[in-house]
Structure 1
Amino acid sequence: MKRRILVNILLAFVLLPILKNAPMFLEVVILGNEMPYHLAMDYWSYMELYMIENLLIYPILYMFTILVPYNLILSIIQCLQNFYTEVYGGKYL
């Protein structure tokens, strides 16, 4: 259970911001293209402006909308498997 919690936190607070910002980082920083004109700033100013959103709000929303229900379903399935194993001696219905 501790491992699942750690993996969920890493997915939400590390991998999600990286995946969200990777396309713009690749285009602007690595390839050297300009920012989209509607942003009218450099990449690092954009990151400073949206830091709270990228590093706090989106990961928390992702955890509560995707990861918590997913892990709840996994826990229910695991409990049912344990129940059937104890009751039917390892033979599932």
Structure 2
Amino acid sequence: MYLHVDPSRVPPVVELCEPDDFTAFKVVIEVPEHAWIAPEVLTELAGRGDDAEWRQHLSGMLAYAASKGWCDAAGRVRAHVEMTSAVPHRD
């Protein structure tokens, strides 16, 4: 059996698949190739809304992204998703 996780939905959808297969157990997570991020979220997370120089650099990055077609109609910027392996949990 395995858990299938779709984090692209809010809240994330978790489904138990193949519940009668007791020979293996895993978690399968759908990972998109890209994520779309609103620029105001970046500013908020950075805590730099009052930093004019930081906002100018962000505007430059967003202008470059837009010139490459990496922004959508809503003004969000496309970010590449990277996956890393977590350190194994030990009891």
User: How would you bin the TM-score normalised by the shorter chain?
Assistant: under 0.3
Which of the pair is proportionally richer in strand?
Answer: 2
Question: TM-score, normalising length from structure 2?
Answer: 0.26
Which of the pair is proportionally richer in helix?
Answer: 1
Question: TM-score, normalising length from structure 1?
Answer: 0.25
